Amino acid sequence: MRAKMAAAFALGFAAGVLCLSVGLWWTGALGTTLRTEAAGAQGEGERETLGVAKTVHLAIPIAGVAVKDLTDTFNQARAGHKHEALDIPAPRGTPVMAAGEGNIVKLFTSKQGGLTVYQFDDSRTYSYYYAHLDRYAPGLREGTRLRRGEVLGYVGSTGNASPEAPHLHFAVFKLGPEKKWWEGTAIDPLPLFR
Ligand SMILES: [Zn+2]
C-alpha cells in the first residue's frame, strides 16, 4: 500500500515538474518573441520618426551651422546609387567635430570618400562616417575616444568631391550584429540633429 502511494506521489511530482518546465519554456519563448518584435519596431522608429524607445541626438559636426541651414541630401541620386548621407558645404579647413561620443574605429582612405573617419557610438549601435576630409586632427588615431564636439579633422575635397566645392559628407550607419565598420544600414542623419 505504502509503495503504491509513493509511486502515485512520484508520478504526480514528475507531472508537476513537467508542467512547470513547459510553462516556463512557453513564457520564455513568448518573452523572446515580444522582445524581437519590440526591437524590430524600434528599428523602424529610428528610421522614420526617431522617436520613442532609443533615440540618438547628434551635434551638427560643423560649428556655426544650424539645422535650418542644412539641405536634406539623403535621398538624392548619385552616380548609380542613392546618396544616403548629408553633405554640409563649408570652406576648406573648417574644423569637423564629432557628432556624438565614441571611439574612432577606423581611419580609412578610399577612392570615393577620400580621407575618412569611422566612429562608433558607445553602445556600438551606430557608426558615424566623416568623408572628404582635408586632413585629420593632430594625434588622431584608431581607438581615440572623442566626446561630442571634439575636432577630428578639417573640411576638404579628397576623394570624388569637387575641389571647387569642399564639403563634409556625413553619414550614420546602423551597425549589423558583427559590428564591422564597413557594414551597416544608412540612416538619414538630419532628423538626429533635432
Ligand atoms: Zn556626399
Residue 28: helix, strand or coil by DSSP?
helix
Whole-number Å distance, alpha carbon 123 to ligand 1 midpoint, is 26
Where is pLDDT greater, at 162 or 32?
162
Chain mean position to CA 177: 11
Is the predicted pLDDT of residue 9 greater than 50, yes or no?
A: yes
User: Mean per-residue pLDDT for 151-164?
Assistant: 97
| 73, 77, 81, 85 alpha-carbon torsion, rounded to 10° | 0
- What is the model's pLDDT at position 52? 38
Whole-number Å distance, alpha carbon 112 to ligand 1 midpoint, is 10
The secondary structure element, H or E, covering residue 81 is: strand 81-82
Whole-number Å distance, alpha carbon 76 to ligand 1 midpoint, is 9
Whole-number Å distance, alpha carbon 169 to ligand 1 midpoint, is 4
Is the predicted pLDDT of residue 25 greater than 70, yes or no?
A: no
Whole-number Å distance, alpha carbon 171 to ligand 1 midpoint, is 8
User: Mean per-residue pLDDT for 110-123?
Assistant: 97
| Stated pTM of the model | 0.72
Q: Is 8 exposed, middle or buried (0-12, 13-18, 19+ CB in 10 A)?
A: exposed
Whole-number Å distance, alpha carbon 12 to ligand 1 midpoint, is 69
- What is the model's pLDDT at position 29? 43
